[in-house]
Structure 1
Amino acid sequence: MLEHYEMESFFDEMMLAKEQPKPHYEHFYEMLRRFSIDNLHEKNETAQLSFLRKGITFTVYNETVGTERTMPFDFVPIIIPSENWQRIEKGMKQRVKALNLFLEDIYRDQEIIKDGIIPGELVEQNPYYYREQASGLDIPYQNHIFLAGIDLIRDEHGEYRVLEDNLRNPSGLSYVFQNRYVMRQVYPELFFEHAIETLEHQLSELHQALMAYVPANSTSPDNPCAVLLTPGSYNSAYYDHVFLAQQMGIELVEGRDLLVRDDVVYMKTIRGLKRVDIIYRRIDDDFLDPDAFDPKSVLGVRGLLRAYRKGNVAIVNGIGNGVADDKAMYAYVPDMIRYYLDEEPIIPNVETYFLRNEEQRTYVLDHLDELVVKNVGASGGYDMLIGPHAGKEEIAVFREKILEKPNQYIAQPTIKLSRAPAFQKGRFYPCHVDLRVFVMSGQESHVLPGGLSRVALQEGSLVVNSSQGGGGKDTWVLKKRGNGYA
C-alpha cells in the first residue's frame, strides 16, 4: 500500500527508505499490510463519524460567519521511541522553567533587562506586557504558567526544534485524549503488541496541578473550589473547555456566572453564592475584567483583578504571560535558559530574523520568496507568508506590511518539516507534521506523554493548524528502549 509513497528529500517519521520502515515502526507497518484499502477506508470513515457523534469540533471563523467542523483525523500515529521522548521531556521542562523565571523577573526587578540580555523596549512596547496589572503579584509558587503548549518540529536531519511557545491559553489538550479514544475504538488491533505510555491518569495530573494554586487568603485551602472560565459556545476552542471542565470535575462558567463582592469572587448557584478559589481562565487578558482592562468587555468579571491582587483568588494561566510567548520574544528564549539556569538549551529554536533590525530586514525583503514571515501577535496560521508557496501579489502585500510595521513581523527559514504517511480518500501520501507538547505545572512540572500531533492534510501544505485545513494524529510514546513492543 506504500509502494507509491514518495520519500523525496524530507525527513520521514515512519519510513527509512521505500518500503522499509524505521525499527520502531516495523510492527505497525507489518500490521498495516494485513489490511485491505477498502478495510482502511471503512475504518477511516468510522473514525470521522466517531468525532462527529461525540461533538468533537472546533470553529473556523470566516469574516462574520463561524463554521463548526470536526477535526480531520488520520489513523497513522506518530511513534516516538522512549530515548527520544526523554530528551523532549527534559527540554520542555527546561524551557518552561526559564520562561516562568523570565515572567517573574520582568514583573518584578527586570534583572534580565538591566544586564542587557534582552532589549528593554522589546518588553515595554510589547502589547501583551501588563506591568500595571501584573507587577508584584504574590502568586502560588511564583508560577505564572499552569499549562504550556510548546510546538515542536523536526527538520530535514530529524533534529527537534521549538517552533513556538503558547503560554496564554494553549488549546488542543482535549484532542489528545479523543484521538487516543478513537484509535482504541476503531483500530484496537494496532495496540495489541505495542507498549505505549498511557494517558489514563493524565487528567488527574492536570486536576492535581490546578488544585495546587490555592490563593493566600482561601477559607478552604484543603478543599478549594476551582472553575473553568470560558468566553462561551462561540469560541473556537469551546469543545476543549467543556471536555477539560467535565474531566477535571470542575464547573464550566461564563463571566455572567461570577461576581465579586468585597474583593472575593463568588459563583452563582441555585443554592446561593459559592466562593471561588481558583479560576482556570480561557479568556484573554483584555476581556478578564472591564475595570482593569477593556471597559467594553462583557465576557469577564468586574472587580476580578482586585480580588486577584489581594490574594483572594488565583487565576491561571497568569495575567501578562503573552509577553513571554510573543513571536518576537521567542528568539531570546535560549538566552533566557542560559541566563536563569546556566544551561545550554536542550531543544534549540528555529533561526529567526528580527525585522526591526535594519540589516536583517534588508536581507528578508530581498529573500521573501524563500522565507516564512509571521505576525508576532497572530496565531492559528493567520497573517503568515510562506514564501516558496506564495505568488508575486501576496509577496508584494507582505513587503508593504513589513515596511509599514517592521516590529510587527519576524521571518524564519523555510524548514523542511518532517513528514509522515497519511491515509485520506483511499490512499497514502506524505504530509508535514508537528507536535504540540503540553507541560502542566503545580507543585512540580509534568509533561504529558506524547501530545497533539498535527498534520497538514492538504498535499504539499506546510500549515498544520486545524483552522487552515490541518488534522490530528495519535501520538505514541514507547515505554522502553528499542522497538518498544510488549
Structure 2
Amino acid sequence: MAFDEMSGDGGGVRESYRGLARWLADAPEGLLQARSRQAELFFRRMGITFAVYGDAESSERLIPFDVVPRIIGAAEWAGLEAGLVQRVRAINLFLADVYGAQECLKAGIVPAELILTNPHYVPEMQGRRPPRGVWVHIAGVDLVRTGEDGFYVLEDNCRTPSGVSYMLENREMMMRLFPDLFADYPVRPVETYADMLLSSLRASAPEAAGADPTIVVLTPGPFNSAYYEHSFLADKLGVDLVEGRDLFVDDGKVFMRTTQGRQQVDVVYRRIDDDFLDPLTFRPYSTLGVPGLMTAYQAGTVTLANAVGTGVADDKAVYTYMPEIIRFFTGEEPILKNVPTWRCREPEALKEVLSKLDQLVVKEVGGSGGYGMLVGPAATRAEIEAFRKKLINDPDDFIAQPTLDLSTAPTLDKGELHGRHVDLRPFVLSDPNGVRVAPGGLTRVALKPGSLVVNSSQGGGTKDTWVLDV
C-alpha cells in the first residue's frame, strides 16, 4: 500500500495535515465540488491551457486542478531545500567542467563517451564560459516519495523546465476559493517567485549591461504547448515577450525591434531548445531562433538562460551518475537520493532488465513528458515485447527503474476524496550570488485510479503545494 501524504502509513493524520483534516470534517457537503467547478470556470476564462500534440480531439485543454492542497511541513522542507541547493550547485559545477577542463571525465566519474557523444552535448560551447559563469539559471527537479523516510530525485530538468506558471496560478486560485483555510495555516508565499527570478536574471546579465539590464522572454510562438506560460512569465516579470523575428544581431550584440527603434538586449530567458536557437550554428531551416545569436553569446554580450548545452545534465543516463558527480564536485554525500536505476548500456544491467520487463519502468534517456516509456506492470504483452526489441537493438538509449509505489494525496473525484499518486517539481534558481529554491513547487497528480503517470501531457492534473512556516 502506498504511503499517503495525509495519513502516512495509516497510523492517523500527519501533523502537517491536521488543520486541513479538521477543516474538511467541518466543510458543508458539496463545498469542494462547488469550488472545483468555480476553479475550472476561472481557469477557462483566463485561458490557462496546455497544448497536447497529436491529440485528435483538441489542440488545447485545461490542466485539471484539484482543490485539495498538498502540504509539506517546515522541517521536512528544510531537508528538501538543502538537498536541492546541493544538487543544482553540483550540476552547475559539472557543466562548467564538462565544457572546460573535463576533470570529471579524466577521473572516470562519468564515462567520456556518454558526454562527448550525447545528443545534448554542444561542441560550440567547449572552452566557453557563459556570462557570470552560471549554466543552469532555472532548474526543475522532479521528486517522488515512497515512504516516511523522504524523497527521491526522479529526474533533473536543466534545459527549459516548465510548469512554474501553474504553481503560481494554483496558489492564486486557492487563495481566492479558500481564504478561511489560509487564515488558519502559516503557508509560505510562492508569489515572490517572479521577483526571485527577475533578481537572478538581472544578476546574471553581462557586466557591461549595468544595473538595469534589458531582459526578454524568447518563445517559439503561440503554437508551442507552453505558450501560455511564456506570456504569463513575461507579464509577471514586466519584460517583453519576443519571438525570434523580433530580435536581430549586429556587431556581435543582440537587439530588439521596438516602435522607438532598436534596443540592445542583455538577457534572453529562452524557452526554445538549443537546436532552434540560431540557424547559422544549429539547424539551418529553423525559423524560431535568431541568426547570429551564438556569435553574440560566445562574445559574452548577452546571457542566455539557461545556457546552451545544459541538456547534458538532464540526460537520464547522466542522471545515474549524479551521486558520484555530487561527491566529486562538492566533497559531500548527496542529501537527496536517486531512484535505483539500471543503465541498459551495461550488458549485465541489460540482461537483468530484459528478465523482468513486466516489473520495471523503462525510459528513453532523452525522453520527456511521459512519452517513450514503458510501465511494465500496466503494459500489455505486445507492448512489453515491442520494448524488448527496442532494448536489444539500442540499449544505450534506455534506463530502467523499479516501479515505485509513489505516495498518494487526497484528491477530489466525483465528490469524494480518494488517494491519487503524486510527484513534486520544485523550481531552483541560480545566479552569481548563489542558489535559491521557491518554497513549494508544482505537485502533479495522476487522476486515474491506480495510474502512476502524472504528466499533464498524459492526462495528469495539478495541486497547490503548501510549505508551512512552522
Is this a same-fold pair by TM over 0.5?
yes
Task: Please say if 1:20 is aligned against 2:9.
Answer: no
Task: Please say if 1:302 is aligned against 2:291.
Answer: yes
Change (3 A) 1:17 1:146: closer
Give CA deviations for 1:192-249 in whole Å, capped at 9, x if unaligned: 1111111232211110001112224x3x412211101000011111111111110011
- 2:452 — aligned with what? 462
- Separation in 1, partners of 2:194, 2:397: 37
Q: Is the 8 A contact 1:37 1:427 kept in 2?
A: no
- Separation in 2, partners of 1:190, 1:394: 46
Q: CA deviation at 1:423?
A: 0.4
Give CA deviations for 1:335-385 in whole Å, capped at 9, x if unaligned: 011001010000100011011111100100010000000011110000110
Give CA deviations for 1:70-92 in whole Å, capped at 9, x if unaligned: 11011111111100000000000
% identical aligned pairs: 48
- 1:90 — aligned with what? 82
Q: CA deviation at 1:297?
A: 0.5
Q: Is the 8 A contact 1:11 1:158 kept in 2?
A: no
1:162 pairs, out of 150, 153, 157, with: 153
Q: CA deviation at 1:17?
A: 6.2
Q: Helix, strand or coil: the match of 2:53?
A: strand
Equivalent position amino acid for 1:189 in 2: D
Q: CA deviation at 1:138?
A: 2.9
Give CA deviations for 1:28-53 in whole Å, capped at 9, x if unaligned: 11111122332221111101111111
Give CA deviations for 1:275-303 in whole Å, capped at 9, x if unaligned: 11111100000000001101110100000
Equivalent position amino acid for 1:307 in 2: A
Q: CA deviation at 1:428?
A: 1.4
1:400 pairs, out of 389, 393, 398, with: 389
Give CA deviations for 1:105-124 in whole Å, capped at 9, x if unaligned: 01011000101111110001
Q: CA deviation at 1:270?
A: 1.0
- Separation in 1, partners of 2:55, 2:42: 29
- Separation in 2, partners of 1:382, 1:308: 32
Change (3 A) 1:120 1:19: closer
1:52 pairs, out of 39, 44, 54, with: 44
2:24 pairs, out of 29, 32, 36, with: 32
- 1:448 — aligned with what? 438
Task: Please say if 1:145 is aligned against 2:136.
Answer: yes
Q: Is the 8 A contact 1:372 1:412 kept in 2?
A: yes
Q: CA deviation at 1:65?
A: 8.0
- Separation in 1, partners of 2:230, 2:193: 16
- Separation in 1, partners of 2:365, 2:398: 5
- 2:252 — aligned with what? 263
Q: Helix, strand or coil: the match of 1:15?
A: coil
Q: CA deviation at 1:19?
A: 9.2
Change (3 A) 1:123 1:18: closer
- 2:238 — aligned with what? 249
Gaps of at least 5 residues in structure 2 are none
- Separation in 2, partners of 1:67, 1:394: 27
1:353 pairs, out of 335, 342, 365, with: 342
- 1:483 — aligned with what? none
Q: CA deviation at 1:258?
A: 0.4
- 1:100 — aligned with what? 92
Q: Is the 8 A contact 1:156 1:415 kept in 2?
A: no
Q: Is the 8 A contact 2:132 2:205 kept in 1?
A: no
- 1:5 — aligned with what? none
Q: Helix, strand or coil: the match of 2:358?
A: coil
Equivalent position amino acid for 2:428 in 1: V
Task: Please say if 1:200 is aligned against 2:191.
Answer: yes
1:191 pairs, out of 158, 174, 182, with: 182
- 2:420 — aligned with what? 431
Q: Is the 8 A contact 2:8 2:148 kept in 1?
A: no
Q: Is the 8 A contact 1:291 1:303 kept in 2?
A: yes
Change (3 A) 1:19 1:348: closer
Q: Helix, strand or coil: the match of 1:92?
A: helix
Equivalent position amino acid for 1:165 in 2: D
Q: Is the 8 A contact 2:156 2:319 kept in 1?
A: yes
Q: What is the TM-score of this pair, normalised by structure 1?
A: 0.94
- Separation in 1, partners of 2:248, 2:132: 26
Q: Is the 8 A contact 1:162 1:348 kept in 2?
A: yes
Equivalent position amino acid for 1:390 in 2: A
Equivalent position amino acid for 2:94 in 1: F
Q: CA deviation at 1:141?
A: 3.1
Q: Is the 8 A contact 2:248 2:291 kept in 1?
A: yes
Q: Is the 8 A contact 1:455 1:464 kept in 2?
A: yes
Q: What is the TM-score of this pair, normalised by structure 2?
A: 0.98
Q: Is the 8 A contact 1:158 1:418 kept in 2?
A: no
Q: CA deviation at 1:20?
A: 3.3
Task: Please say if 1:479 is aligned against 2:469.
Answer: yes
Task: Please say if 1:418 is aligned against 2:410.
Answer: no
Larger CA deviation: 37-46 vs 275-284: 37-46
Q: Is the 8 A contact 1:25 1:79 kept in 2?
A: yes
- 1:4 — aligned with what? none
- Separation in 2, partners of 1:434, 1:17: 17
State the Cα RMSD in Å: 1.3
- Separation in 1, partners of 2:11, 2:171: 27
Q: Helix, strand or coil: the match of 2:284?
A: coil
- Separation in 1, partners of 2:398, 2:115: 15
- Separation in 2, partners of 1:334, 1:18: 32
Q: CA deviation at 1:173?
A: 0.5
Gaps of at least 5 residues in structure 1 are 1-8, 481-486
- 2:353 — aligned with what? 364
1:118 pairs, out of 110, 117, 142, with: 110
Q: Is the 8 A contact 2:249 2:291 kept in 1?
A: yes
- Separation in 2, partners of 1:346, 1:382: 29
- Separation in 1, partners of 2:41, 2:439: 26
Equivalent position amino acid for 1:349 in 2: N
Q: Helix, strand or coil: the match of 1:232?
A: coil
Q: Is the 8 A contact 2:132 2:206 kept in 1?
A: no
Q: Is the 8 A contact 2:48 2:228 kept in 1?
A: yes
Change (3 A) 1:18 1:161: closer
